């Protein structure tokens, strides 16, 4: 692979290119803002900005010590050795070690530290090294790649019964013999529910080596946590094994590894108990979902923080694919199995806006292909488009959203004339009696408004209202408790339909703690000092509601449905270090293990039916059975989850969209009883129908062994993981149909293939039908049809049916969504016509019903945009003609001065030096831990917004210059097909030298409005002299686009329309390492080595308008004038740039050179 990145000099080179000021030759022409650029939106932006402290900074490359994976030129064992003998696997591991040993001294000579070795999901090394040395490692012999690694965040009686787990247990299925790996903060294996004696002394002995000690990871005398001697407590009847890959000090100290995965933080202990904990005592009814599973604990998350170390997670996944360490020769006898991955891997962790290049995403897909179902939390980042996290965003992962439990209630909070709803947090006391007191915001004196500090004065008898943010909400509740409040209300600081729910974050909470929405909190703030009250009987029930904090999809790379399903997340489960203690554990972190436990029950049932053998892993005769287990769970989920409560239960909400709930809430009993499974097999079917396709690596073991003996890996493994079509197609199998995003200007169709497998012992005839999630989507331009509508399938056989989606642009809604101001708008239950993702996506179910009235379901979703088809037909010395053959959408067009048409860099080059892929397709290079940003065009324009500078508190323009001027940078990229999200992973910077003295004074950059938690993309100005950063406008960009428009007040960057100024543009990826990828101008391999020069008042080529509409089935001729002064003052302009809104995919801009 080669990109422009390989030719860039890291950092920005400051070159003094001073251009002569020509003075004011003519009064610049004033262009007034168009109707979509009115002042009120800017005022609204400023009001929000005034209330916040901005920590956003321009992108920068990684420095200092980083974690990295060094990939070597050998195929991972999981890709080629699934059917090898034990000896063949041992020999291959030795070959891997030999190659690793060649690199280790070279890496250590550069100051690197070896953290671990991979064999299953990679053949490389986990290292820590100075970021500046990474390029040296890439150049070492036999190194394929060296990539920095990201870190991640950690995101029962009632809940187990609610999902049908108790009913399945009563039928005799308890997950017996199923192996579940928990990759988390470790496991307290001394807890009674997890196979331990259940005493505080046992925990102290296992953690510290002294039964009388107080466990503390910072206590130097407490050392047993890194010892192999666990005094007989580990392994035990429940926790069968594991390893600690992160140690006790990280992130406050270095990461270390040891054989004792004891938990201090507590997250992993909760997760393990929910999956398969024992009863506290016989008859207690508090066992996990699958109480007889074998738990394996791999510690990749901190003991002292809610973060997980990227290398430790990768090493944990690799470890979970060889539970007995047989590939290292560390087991003996009959229990030593050549193939022994975990049946299920649970990761209740993630990173928002999960990217397909993420290394943990790749490892997840490899694990599934090898035979482990990976269940992961969708995340706790709320109902915002595309924010669902990785690794759950991996194609093969089963991504889990959080739903409520039956006892959840929407309590009334009344204060004065205001009544709002609140959700009680499960780790605090329940509302058992009426409570009331004067409502107070913070400390009542405009202080401690977020409640994170202890209250200095007693708050006896008061109802305390505080804002979310800066600390765990349980800390806020504990502070209010300690001050004597009667109850505490935590108002959300982000827009949401329902109040969020959070897991326990410490503190002693002795009063009811309720959360409310941002809107409800604002209402309460209008009645401060009035009497506020709550009561146990004033509520609406909230069963099967999607929690407000649960992350929404679809997947950011390709618009596929994520999350895959939902589960309740507030189970009462084991507390680390408590012996027998339990407490509520919320968030999607608690939802994922519910599904992992349900998966264990289904796996045991499939083994009992002979569909799977009882050996470790989910490998079947033709490949991994993980997609089938995933699909069984999805097919039988309860589809009726809600936002804001079902109207049947007194709520005011409606059905949750598919990209928030997936298939629905897990139903273990329905999945257990299912006799049919159906899944999307489109990509795999295409592969199998290709007679020239290479054989998959693991389907022909004889060929594999012959190649192995010759020392040659199979052909398809040579390209791993980039060119293995079978690997990619296998992992795309899932229990949903994703049609993704598309711009549509006419009538289009798309077809998916669905496999229907009859698991019963008799022939079945199925009726197929389709439905919309929301009735008002019917007749709005989208139809779905299954063909045939009836199919007969013999026992144990499968049939494949076609499902055709038809989209007619004529009937689609006009698109009003964007990625700036509305970029965080997933659903709004209070506004039917507001621009939200839910308004424009279409979703529903394919229903497959057999003669016995059993119905399995596949959710479907599509996001179509009514599009124009605008393009430049021709240009001459005085005008440019545009056409729009589309019949249903006018061609809204923004016109910029064109500064640069950047070369389209080849992104992948084969071994012969030929270009394989010119445009970067997101996800085409899995596991590279970066994403490529290739600038296509760069442009600039300006206009006037009367009154702007006064509203923003900016100085008036100097004499002779346009006042209230806004400058916009128009930027496009070559990425194919588009970037779904606007805040990640593409970021731009305009480095501005307003006085042309060769020194950059300001940096204009786009970023998420609240450092990755908001969803709206804003434009910030960094004043380098003042050291301040301030947002002014939202980005003028859209979801699923190749175009970005960055507006900035001219006065905020010292630019005047009667003087030329200098600037250059940088293109970064801002998700992984902040890598500089491209720039404009690109001068002899150096970014920042040259400037564009431009005067906003005197462009070289001036169009008569900078915003126009090309009529449907029509054309538009745009006149322009050429200025002699503009040639001198704006020498960087080479033509005009046309950027098209609501355009077809890949047809969003045209750069027209006029020189």
883: in domain: no
Please check whether residues 195 and 215 belong to one and the same domain.
yes
pLDDT digits (tens, 9 = 90+) for 592-631: 999 999 999 999 999 999 888 888 889 866 678 999 999 9
Contact in structure between 650 and 623 (CB atoms under 8 Å): no
Query: What pLDDT is recorded for position 938?
Result: 98
Least Cα distance to 341 among 363, 360, 324, 355 occurs for 324
Residue 109 φ/ψ region, left for φ over 0, alpha for ψ in the -120 to 50 degree band, beta for the rest: alpha
Contact in structure between 936 and 1067 (CB atoms under 8 Å): no
Query: What pLDDT is recorded for position 1148?
Result: 96
Does the pLDDT value for residue 694 go beyond 60? no
451-455, 677-681, 921-925: least confident range: 921-925
- The DSSP letter of residue 1113 is T
Query: What pLDDT is recorded for position 697?
Result: 42
Q: How far apart are CA 466 and CA 468, in angstroms?
A: 7
694: in domain: no
- Judging by beta carbons within 10 Å of its beta carbon (0-12, 13-18, 19+), is residue 498 exposed, middle or buried? buried
Query: What pLDDT is recorded for position 68?
Result: 85
Does the pLDDT value for residue 256 go beyond 50? yes
Strands 565-568 and 487-491, by their bridges, are unpaired
Which domain CATH number covers 859? 2.60.40.2310
162: in domain: yes
CA 287 to chain centre: 32
Domain termination residue (choose one: 674, 708, 728): 674
pLDDT confidence bin for 916, thresholds 50/70/90: low
Please check whether residues 780 and 816 belong to one and the same domain.
yes
435: in domain: yes
Residue spans of beta strands (DSSP E) within 168-301: 179-184, 239-244, 294-299
Please check whether residues 428 and 393 belong to one and the same domain.
no
Q: How far apart are CA 438 and CA 484, in angstroms?
A: 13
- Judging by beta carbons within 10 Å of its beta carbon (0-12, 13-18, 19+), is residue 1030 exposed, middle or buried? middle
- Phi, psi (rounded to 5 degrees) for 1149: -160, 155
Which domain CATH number covers 511? 3.50.30.30
What is the rounded average pLDDT of the residues 1020-1031?
Answer: 92
Domain termination residue (choose one: 832, 866, 900): 866
What is the rounded average pLDDT of the residues 1006-1019?
Answer: 84
- Phi, psi (rounded to 5 degrees) for 149: -115, 140
pLDDT digits (tens, 9 = 90+) for 711-768: 333 344 444 444 466 777 888 999 999 999 999 999 999 999 999 999 999 999 999 9
Please check whether residues 134 and 259 belong to one and the same domain.
no
- The DSSP letter of residue 936 is E
pLDDT confidence bin for 587, thresholds 50/70/90: low
- Judging by beta carbons within 10 Å of its beta carbon (0-12, 13-18, 19+), is residue 132 exposed, middle or buried? middle
Average pLDDT of the chain to the nearest whole number? 86
pLDDT confidence bin for 1020, thresholds 50/70/90: very high
Three-class SS state of 715 = helix
Q: How far apart are CA 618 and CA 369, in angstroms?
A: 9
- Helices assigned H by DSSP within 356-472: 359-370
Query: What pLDDT is recorded for position 904?
Result: 86
Domain termination residue (choose one: 124, 148, 172): 148
Q: Which of 155-159, 571-575, 1102-1106 has the highest mean pLDDT?
A: 1102-1106
Does the pLDDT value for residue 386 go beyond 70? yes
Which domain CATH number covers 103? 3.30.70.80
Please check whether residues 143 and 156 belong to one and the same domain.
no
748 is in which domain, residue-wise? 737-866
Please check whether residues 126 and 159 belong to one and the same domain.
no
794: in domain: yes
pLDDT confidence bin for 505, thresholds 50/70/90: confident
Q: How far apart are CA 81 and CA 339, in angstroms?
A: 9
Cis geometry, peptide bond prior to residue 985 (ω within 30 degrees of 0): yes
Q: How far apart are CA 1098 and CA 30, in angstroms?
A: 11
- The DSSP letter of residue 279 is P
CA 305 to each of CA 249, 265, 468, 681, 1030: distance values in angstroms, whole numbers, following the listed order: 10, 7, 19, 41, 30
What is the rounded average pLDDT of the residues 877-898?
Answer: 97
Please check whether residues 750 and 811 belong to one and the same domain.
yes
What is the rounded average pLDDT of the residues 420-441?
Answer: 92
- Residue 1143: CB partners within 8 Å, gap ≥ 6? 743, 867, 868, 869, 870, 891
pLDDT digits (tens, 9 = 90+) for 69-84: 888 878 788 877 777 8
Query: What pLDDT is recorded for position 315?
Result: 94
Note the pTM of the prediction, 2 decimals.
Answer: 0.89
- Helices assigned H by DSSP within 777-878: 837-840
Does the pLDDT value for residue 50 go beyond 80? no
Residue 947 φ/ψ region, left for φ over 0, alpha for ψ in the -120 to 50 degree band, beta for the rest: left
DSSP-assigned letters across all residues of 530-599:
SEEEE-TTSEEE-TTBBPTTSPP-S-TTT----S-EEEE--EEEE-TTSSS-EEEE-SHHHHHHHHHHHH
- Phi, psi (rounded to 5 degrees) for 254: -70, 150
Does the pLDDT value for residue 47 go beyond 70? no
Please check whether residues 562 and 512 belong to one and the same domain.
no
Q: For residue 605, what is the enclosing H or E element?
A: helix 588-608
Query: What pLDDT is recorded for position 6?
Result: 27
Query: What pLDDT is recorded for position 1074?
Result: 84
Strands 1135-1140 and 891-901, by their bridges, are antiparallel
Q: Which of 152-156, 748-752, 900-904 has the highest mean pLDDT?
A: 748-752
Please check whether residues 984 and 945 belong to one and the same domain.
yes
Q: Which has more pLDDT, 4 or 1116?
A: 1116
Contact in structure between 552 and 388 (CB atoms under 8 Å): yes
- Judging by beta carbons within 10 Å of its beta carbon (0-12, 13-18, 19+), is residue 471 exposed, middle or buried? middle
1155: in domain: no
- Helices assigned H by DSSP within 292-419: 310-320, 359-370
Please check whether residues 95 and 212 belong to one and the same domain.
no
881: in domain: no
Least Cα distance to 17 among 1090, 897, 787 occurs for 1090
What is the rounded average pLDDT of the residues 1047-1075?
Answer: 94
pLDDT digits (tens, 9 = 90+) for 764-800: 999 999 999 999 999 999 999 999 999 999 998 899 9
705: in domain: no
Contact in structure between 544 and 569 (CB atoms under 8 Å): no
What is the rounded average pLDDT of the residues 422-426?
Answer: 88
Query: Percent of the chain having pLDDT more than 70?
Result: 88
pLDDT digits (tens, 9 = 90+) for 345-370: 999 998 899 998 888 998 999 899 89
Four-CA torsion 291, 297, 303, 307, nearest 10 degrees: -100
Q: How far apart are CA 386 and CA 677, in angstroms?
A: 28
pLDDT confidence bin for 824, thresholds 50/70/90: confident
What is the rounded average pLDDT of the residues 30-51?
Answer: 39
- The DSSP letter of residue 132 is G
Please check whether residues 921 and 994 belong to one and the same domain.
yes
Q: How far apart are CA 809 and CA 799, in angstroms?
A: 33
151-165, 294-308, 310-324, 1008-1022: least confident range: 151-165
What is the rounded average pLDDT of the residues 187-193?
Answer: 96
Please check whether residues 913 and 970 belong to one and the same domain.
yes
pLDDT digits (tens, 9 = 90+) for 220-243: 888 777 776 777 899 999 999 999
289-293, 570-574, 836-840, 1129-1133: least confident range: 570-574
Q: How far apart are CA 160 and CA 285, in angstroms?
A: 10
Which domain CATH number covers 387? 3.40.50.200
Count H helices, E strands: the chain?
Answer: 23, 58
Task: Please state the domain count of the chain.
Answer: 5
Contact in structure between 979 and 1039 (CB atoms under 8 Å): no
Cis geometry, peptide bond prior to residue 358 (ω within 30 degrees of 0): no
Does the pLDDT value for residue 640 go beyond 90? yes
Q: How far apart are CA 580 and CA 191, in angstroms?
A: 6
CA 225 to each of CA 191, 572, 887: distance values in angstroms, whole numbers, following the listed order: 15, 26, 69
Per residue in 793-805, is it b (16+ CB within 10 Å) or e — as a string?
A: beeeeebebebeb
């Amino acid at each position: 692979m080669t990109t422009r990145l390989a030719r860039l000099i890291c950092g920005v080179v400051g070159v003094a290119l001073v251009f002569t000021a020509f003075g004011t030759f003519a009064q610049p022409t004033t262009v007034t803002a168009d109707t979509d650029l009115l002042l009120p939106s800017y005022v609204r932006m400023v009001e929000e900005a005034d209330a916040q402290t901005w920590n956003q900074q321009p992108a920068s490359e990684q420095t200092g010590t980083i974690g990295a994976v060094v990939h070597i030129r050998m195929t991972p064992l999981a890709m080629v050795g699934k059917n090898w003998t034990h000896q063949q696997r041992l020999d291959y591991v030795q070959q891997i070690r030999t190659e690793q040993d060649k690199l280790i001294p070279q890496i250590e000579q550069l100051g690197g530290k070896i953290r671990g070795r991979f064999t299953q999901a990679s053949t490389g090394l986990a290292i820590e090294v100075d970021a500046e040395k990474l390029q040296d490692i890439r150049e070492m012999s036999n190194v394929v790649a060296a990539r920095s690694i990201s870190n991640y965040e950690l995101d029962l009686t009632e809940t187990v019964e609610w999902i049908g787990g108790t009913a399945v247990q009563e039928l005799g299925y308890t997950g017996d013999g199923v192996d579940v790996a928990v990759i988390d903060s470790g496991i307290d294996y001394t807890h009674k529910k997890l196979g331990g004696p259940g005493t505080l002394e046992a925990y102290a002995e296992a953690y510290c080596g002294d039964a009388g000690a107080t466990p503390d990871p910072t206590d130097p005398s407490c050392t047993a946590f890194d010892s192999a001697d666990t005094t007989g407590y580990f392994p035990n009847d429940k926790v069968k094994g594991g390893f600690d890959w992160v140690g006790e000090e990280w992130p406050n100290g270095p990461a270390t590894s040891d054989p004792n995965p004891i938990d201090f933080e507590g997250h992993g202990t909760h997760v393990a108990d929910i999956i398969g904990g024992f009863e506290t005592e016989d008859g207690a009814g508090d066992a996990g979902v699958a109480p007889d599973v074998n738990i394996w604990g791999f510690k990749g998350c901190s003991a002292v923080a809610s973060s997980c170390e990227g290398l430790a997670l990768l090493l944990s996944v690799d470890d979970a694919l060889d539970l007995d360490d047989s590939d290292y020769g560390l087991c003996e006898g009959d229990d030593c199995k050549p193939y022994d991955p975990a049946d299920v891997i649970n990761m209740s962790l993630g990173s928002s806006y999960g990217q397909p290049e993420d290394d943990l995403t790749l490892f997840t897909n490899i694990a599934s292909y090898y035979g482990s179902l990976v269940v992961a939390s969708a995340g706790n980042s709320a109902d915002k488009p595309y924010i669902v996290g990785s690794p759950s965003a991996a194609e093969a992962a089963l991504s889990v959203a959080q739903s409520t439990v039956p006892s959840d209630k929407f309590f009334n909070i009344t204060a004065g004339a205001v009544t709002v709803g609140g959700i009680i947090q499960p780790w605090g006391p329940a509302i058992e009696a009426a409570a009331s007191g004067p409502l107070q915001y913070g400390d009542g004196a405009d202080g401690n408004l977020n409640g994170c500090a202890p209250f200095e004065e007693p708050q006896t008898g008061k109802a305390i209202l505080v804002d979310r943010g800066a600390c765990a909400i349980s800390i806020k509740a504990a502070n209010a408790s300690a001050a004597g409040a009667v109850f505490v209300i935590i108002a959300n600081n982000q827009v949401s339909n329902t109040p969020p729910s959070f897991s326990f974050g410490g503190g002693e909470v002795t009063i009811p703690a309720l959360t409310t929405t941002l809107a409800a909190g604002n209402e309460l703030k209008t009645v401060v000092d009035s009497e506020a009250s709550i009561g146990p009987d004033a509520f609406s029930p909230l069963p099967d509601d999607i929690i407000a904090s649960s992350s929404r999809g679809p997947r950011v790379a390709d618009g596929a449905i994520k999350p895959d399903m939902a589960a309740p997340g507030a189970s009462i489960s084991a507390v680390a270090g408590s012996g027998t203690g339990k407490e509520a554990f919320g968030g999607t972190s608690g939802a994922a293990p519910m599904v992992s436990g349900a998966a264990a029950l289904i796996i045991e049932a499939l083994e009992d039916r002979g569909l799977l053998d009882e050996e470790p892993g989910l490998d079947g005769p033709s490949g991994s059975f993980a997609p089938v287990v995933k699909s069984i769970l999805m097919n039988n989920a309860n589809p009726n989850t809600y936002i804001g409560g079902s109207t049947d239960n007194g709520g005011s909400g409606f059905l949750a969209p598919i990209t928030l709930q997936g298939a629905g809430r897990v139903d273990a009993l329905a999945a257990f009883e299912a006799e049919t499974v159906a899944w999307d097999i489109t990509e795999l079917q295409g592969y199998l129908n290709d007679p020239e396709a290479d054989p998959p690596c693991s389907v022909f073991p004889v060929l594999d062994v012959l190649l192995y003996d010759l020392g040659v890996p199979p052909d398809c493994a040579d390209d791993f993981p980039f060119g293995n079509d079978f690997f990619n197609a296998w992992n795309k199998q899932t229990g949903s149909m994703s049609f993704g995003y598309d711009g549509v200007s006419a009538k289009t169709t798309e077809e998916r293939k669905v496999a229907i497998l009859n698991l019963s012992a008799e022939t079945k005839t199925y009726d197929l039908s389709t439905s919309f999630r929301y009735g008002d989507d019917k007749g709005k331009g989208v139809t779905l049809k299954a063909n045939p509508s009836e199919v007969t399938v013999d026992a144990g056989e499968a049939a494949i049916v076609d499902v055709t989606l038809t989209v007619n642009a004529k009937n689609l809604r006009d698109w009003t969504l964007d990625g700036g101001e509305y970029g965080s708008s997933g659903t709004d239950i209070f506004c039917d016509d507001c621009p939200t993702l839910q308004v424009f996506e279409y979703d529903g179910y394919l229903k497959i019903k057999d003669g016995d009235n059993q119905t399995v379901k596949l959710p479907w979703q599509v996001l179509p945009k009514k599009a124009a088809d605008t393009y430049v037909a021709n240009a001459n010395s005085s005008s440019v003609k545009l056409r729009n053959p589309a019949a249903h959408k006018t061609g809204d067009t923004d016109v910029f001065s064109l500064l640069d048409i950047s070369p389209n860099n080849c992104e992948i080059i084969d071994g012969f030096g030929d270009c394989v892929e010119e445009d970067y397709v997101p996800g085409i290079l899995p596991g590279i831990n970066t994403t490529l940003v290739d600038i296509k065009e760069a442009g600039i324009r300006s206009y006037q917004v009367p009154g702007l500078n006064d509203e923003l508190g900016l100085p008036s323009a100097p004499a002779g210059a346009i006042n209230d001027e806004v400058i916009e940078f128009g930027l496009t990229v070559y990425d194919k097909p588009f970037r779904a999200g606007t805040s990640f992973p593409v970021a731009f910077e305009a480095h501005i030298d307003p006085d042309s003295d060769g020194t950059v004074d300001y940096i204009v950059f786009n970023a998420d409005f609240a450092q990755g938690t908001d969803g709206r993309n804003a434009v910030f100005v960094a004043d380098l002299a003042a050291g301040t950063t301030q947002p002014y406008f939202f980005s003028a960009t859209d979801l699923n686009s190749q175009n970005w428009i960055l507006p900035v007040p001219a006065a905020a960057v010292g630019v005047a329309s009667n003087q030329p100024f200098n600037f250059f543009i940088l293109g970064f990826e801002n998700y992984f390492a902040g890598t500089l990828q491209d720039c404009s101008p690109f001068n002899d391999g150096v970014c920042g080595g040259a400037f564009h020069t431009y005067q906003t008042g005197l462009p070289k080529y001036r169009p008569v308008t900078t915003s126009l509409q090309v009529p449907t089935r029509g054309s538009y001729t745009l006149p322009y004038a050429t200025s002699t002064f503009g040639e001198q003052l704006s020498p960087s302009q080479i033509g005009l740039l046309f950027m098209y809104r609501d355009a077809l995919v890949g047809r969003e801009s045209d750069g027209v050179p006029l020189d």
